[in-house]
Amino acid sequence: MMGQCDSRFSSRGHLTRTTIIIMPSTLKLNAVAFISPQNHPILIRTFSKQDENTIKYHYIAHTSLDIIEERANMTGKLGDCYLGLLYSMEDVAVYGYITPLKVKIVLALALSDAVVKDVEVIMLFKAMHMAYYSAISNPFLRLESSMDSSIDQSPHILVGSPKWKNFRKRVDEIARTLGTS
């Protein structure tokens, strides 16, 4: 499982934070959501100022699953990870991404009257995917998780729990880098 992720990344070049810094970007990231293959929330992180809107991004993440599932089913196995614009609503444009292991990443970008380049969004997604991937690779996560019958589910969920700060830190860093560039 890990090997698969690994090869994917190594074959696509280095998708580290530095890549983001180089990219001049107009994107404003409002929130990012990581959702497990079983559609449970892993981590939902909001970056907009008003904190009372957090719940809104939970809703957005949850509703995005519909379209993600639809698109993923449509393209089948050959489909790309990047699912494009899922929908735009109110003041956000929602983009979707599905990793080969069916972890879904949802980005809520502030809606602006400008063309959002797919390349940039993909960059951002890949950085997020990388963050998730390196967080999930933490061997100590497995210590905590029960080796339950629901095989690999627990580490997915665990990685987003407040106890494991690394993942949040990475995600926040990506958001910050995006904001400053």
Partner 1 sequence: MNSYPPELLAQLAPVMFVAGLEGPPKAPQESETGAAQAQLDPFQILSIRLREALVSQRKVAVWQPDKSKTFQVVLVDKEVRFPPRKLVPPDDPQYTNSHSPLSPLTPSSPLYPDGLIAPIWIRKHTTLIPSVFVMFMRIFEYPPHVLRSPLEGHDSDKDRLEEERKRDSELASDIAQRKKGTNERGVKLTVVLMASRRLLDDPALDSRLTYIRRQSGLDSRAALFVLSPVSTAELHDFVRSLQQALYEPALEYYTVHSKRVRRKRNRHSQATASYPNPAVQLANPNISRPLRPEGWTVRYEYKMACFAEFRGEDEVALKHYQDAYATLTIMFGSTAILPPRTKRWAEAKVLADCINIKIVKLYLYNNEHALALSHHNTHIRQFGDFSRGWGIGEETYEFWSWIARQYRVLAEMIDQGTRSGLVIPVHQPTASSTGAAPAPRPAGLPDLDFARTLGINPSHALQHSGFYYYMAAKCTDMRRARFQAALEAENNNNPIALSPGFQNEKKVDHLSLLYTKAYELFKKYAATPALANQTTSRLTLWIATRIAETHYEAGKFDVAVRFFERIAKTYRKEGWHALLKPLLSTWYSCAQRMGDVELSIKLLIEMMGQEDLAESEEPNGLEEDLLALFQSTVPSSTEAALTFDLAGARPIFETDAVFWKAEVNVEEPAAFQLPITAPTRTVISSVPFSSLEIHISHISNPVIVRHSAEAQEESTPSTSVSRVDLGIINLEDGLQLEIAANLRWKPGSVVLFTGALVSRKPVTLSIKKVIFNIEQNSWKVQVPVEPRPPVLGSTSEPRWLRSQDPPRFIAVKRPDHATTVVKPRPHLFNVSVIHHEPGFLDEDYPIVIEVVNHDDRDLEVMADVLLQPTDIDYAINTISVNGETSTGLIKDIPFGVLAPGVHASKTLHLASGGSGGDRLLDISISANTPQSEETSGESSDEDEDEPASPVQIDKTVYQETLTVPTIAPFAVDSAVMYARTRGEWQGLASLDTFAEDYFDERKGTEALVNIKLDCTGPWGVYIENITLDATVCYTSLPPAIIIDLEGKSAPEIRIMDSSVDLPDGNLFPAEYLAGDELNLSCRVNIGVRDDGKSEEYLFPSPGRYTVSWRRILRDGSHGSLSKTTVSLPALNPPGDTLVALFDIPPTATLHVPVSMTVTIRNYHPTRSANVTVQMEPEVTDGFIVAGLRSGRVPVLLPGGEERLEWTLIPLECGYQSIPRIRILDRRKAIPGVPATTEEVPVDGSTGEPVKLIDLRRDERRLIQADGQGEEGEATIRLLESGSNFGGVLVVPS
The residue ranges that bind partner 1 (CB under 8 A) are 12-13, 15, 19, 38-41, 44, 54-55, 58-59, 62-63, 65-67, 69-71, 73-75, 80, 82-90, 93, 109, 111-123, 126, 143-150, 153-154, 157-158, 161
Q: What is the DSSP letter of 48?
A: S
Contacts of 42 (CB under 8 A, 6+ apart): 34, 35, 36, 103, 132, 156, 157, 159, 160
Between 38 and 181, name the residue whose CB sits nearer to partner 1: 38
Q: How many of the other CB atoms lie within 10 Å of CB of 68?
A: 23
Give the separation between CA 111 and CA 59, rounded to whole angstroms: 17
- Smallest separation, CB 175 to partner 1 (Å): 18
154-157, long-range: CB within 8 Å, 24+ apart, which pairs? 156/36, 156/37, 156/38, 156/40, 156/42, 156/103, 157/36, 157/40, 157/42
Please state the closest distance from residue 153 (CB atom) to partner 1, in A. Answer: 8
Smallest separation, CB 10 to partner 1 (Å) = 14
Which residue number, 120 or 173, has a Cβ lying nearer to partner 1?
120
Which is nearer to partner 1, 27 or 175 (by Cβ)?
27
Least distance CB 5 / partner 1 (angstroms): 16
2 or 119: CB nearest partner 1 = 119
